Chain A
């Protein structure tokens, strides 16, 4: 049972990664930015897993698992931060955060 070889997975992964990058750079809602970050991490995961398959090596899978946990952690902190921001009645728009600049 052979499906597409690893390069196809990788291409998907690359596209997904680029979508994530686009999302982070283009979107202004911090929530969607966070979601885009998740997409980037998942793209990486996909790459890791397909490489694990390529090499027949579990390290990649384990790495991917750890990444999931890390992604979850980032989400937790990110959401906490967004909640704190919302509590301060600031507009949820990353473009509005530019007191610090120059």
Chain B
């Protein structure tokens, strides 16, 4: 019974996840795409939860769907969410190629998984209750993966600097604007 429930939730979440993913790439308006991505992230969080990653599920919702996507929406709003016609423009072979390549990748990965599925993939490890709990994650972050943790912060710092630099207007740009106006 529990299994069926889990299955049901899983199918729902997976469906939502895929559906919203497709939505992200097919909406004309970035604003809607972003919203769809939030849905996508949320449904992913459910899947995470089902895969015993509680902390990550939480982080996904808080950090990702919360903070990052808010920023996204903010920028889209700032720029004015101009819609474009999806899947058009550029050389036509790009679209065809994209479909072929993406399908190929998909098929390959699925085949690879299928080849493996018989033996290894169903032999899930027995796990403790605390698997995926914040405490475990936190402990590892401060021991085994200390370096990764620190570097993650550095990456974020660098990105933050970048955001600032790129986001602010420089005097060179001002001059260019003035030239543009006078011309």
Contact between chain A and chain B defined by CB under 8 Å: yes
Query: A27 contacts B102, CB within 8 Å?
Result: no
**Which A residues are CB-close (under 8 A) to B95?**
26
Within the complex, which residue of A5, A17, A38, A52 is in contact with B53, where a contact is CB–CB below 8 Å?
A52
Within the assembled complex, what's the spacing in Å between the Cα atoms of A73 and B127? 32
B11-47 interface (Cβ within 8 A of A): 14, 17-18, 21-22, 24-25, 27, 30, 33-34, 37, 40-41, 44, 47
- Find chain B residues with CB under 8 A from A3 CB: 3, 6-7, 9-10, 50
B85 to chain A, nearest CB (A): 9
B122 at the interface (CB under 8 A from A): yes
A56 to B123, CA, bound (A): 11
Complex Cα–Cα for A17 and B156 (A)? 24
Interface secondary structure of A, over-half rule: helix
A25 to B104 Cα, complex, angstroms: 14
Closest to B111 in A: A14
Other-chain residue from B6, B122, B136, B144 in contact with A6 (beta carbon distance below 8 A): B122
Q: Range of interface residues on chain B?
A: 35 or more
The interface on chain A, measured as residues whose beta carbon lies within 8 A of the other chain's beta carbons, has a size of 75
Cβ proximity bits A69-95 to B, threshold 8 Å, 1 near / 0 not = 111111111011111101110001101
Q: Name the CB-closest residue of A to B68.
A: A72
Distance between Cα atoms of A65 and B17 in the complex (Å)? 19
Question: Is A5 touching B121 in the complex (CB atoms < 8 A)?
Answer: yes
Contact for A7 among B64, B117, B159, CB less than 8 A:
B117
A87 to chain B, nearest CB (A): 6
Within 8 A of B (CB), among A33-77: 34-36, 38-39, 42, 45-46, 49-50, 52-59, 61-66, 68-77
Contact B167 A80 (CB under 8 A): yes
- Bound Cα distance A40, B145 (Å): 24
Assuming A73-B159, A87-B173, what are 12 further A-B pairs, CB within 8 angstroms? Answer: A19-B18, A19-B25, A26-B86, A26-B87, A28-B90, A38-B37, A45-B44, A61-B53, A68-B59, A71-B68, A79-B163, A95-B90
